Amino acid sequence: MRLLVSVRSPDEVAAALGGGADIVDAKDPARGALGPVAADVLAAIDERVPVHVPLSVALGDAGSAERVNAVVSALRIRRWATAYVKLAFDAVCGVSELLPLLRAAAAASARHAACPRLIAVAYADAGRAAQAVLRAAQQAGAAGILLDTAAKDGRTLLDFWSESLLRDWVRAGRAAGLEVALAGSIGLRDLARVVALEPDIIGVRGAACTGGRAGSVEAVRVRALRALLPMEPAAIAANHETRATGYPQPSISK
């Protein structure tokens, strides 16, 4: 199981990696649940994240196939095969509407020099759309799905969906051959319950920061979160081997 930590600037990368983040996520929390960072900020974050550590890039909400193609094609990242791009579909709720957008994103990702893996994002506080995102992601050839919350008002993922529903969603994603990530204002006190659902990835921002999601990532907070996630012995050894460089090796366990 991997821990994704969202950073808003290159200055937060060292704390995320020093705390043991398996995936670094570039996101501007001031611009919403999936707010993209500016192009120059993304380039600077990319420079700070070693190429063996996966980099996730939030691209916001997809409005049209043309916009999807434009934002993916414009990505300024130097890595190859260790990147994710995340797209949400706030105003779209049907599989027939989602498929053209996801297929456009998958095609643009395949053409990009970095070959980023496409993650389709659903919002737990957006009704039935999450199920449509899961089905469309499978049909479009996406690499994975993320269930997040659009509202950042103190409520968490667990306030919107029961653990039973979340477990079913994780299992359905796995059965569809997708990587499954869960996020949505998940705090330290919620983490054990989310871990028990067995997603592949757990994403955090506020819990990793001093002062909440608008604050700054702190290594000690990331370390406390990472300590609660299971990790295979081989991955632990790999992390220890790279401590001398200051950068943890990401776990590939699920």
Annotated active-site positions, please? 27, 86
Q: Which two tokens stand for residue 224?
A: 């406390």
Q: In 3D, which of 76, 68, 70, 21 has the Cα closest to residue 46? A: 76
Q: Cα 122–50–88 angle (5° rounding)?
A: 10
Please tell me the number of Cα atoms within 13 Å of 88 on its side-chain side: 23
Measured from the Cβ of residue 26, the count of other Cβ atoms closer than 10 Å reads 29
Q: Which residue has the tokens 């808003």?
A: 8
Q: Which two tokens stand for residue 10?
A: 């290159």
Alpha-carbon dihedral angle through residues 121, 123, 124, 129, given to the nearest 10 degrees:
-90
The Cα–Cα gap between 57 and 55 comes to 7
Measured from the Cβ of residue 78, the count of other Cβ atoms closer than 10 Å reads 13
Helix axes 95-111, 65-73, angle to 10 degrees: 30
Helix axes 129-140, 95-111, angle to 10 degrees: 40
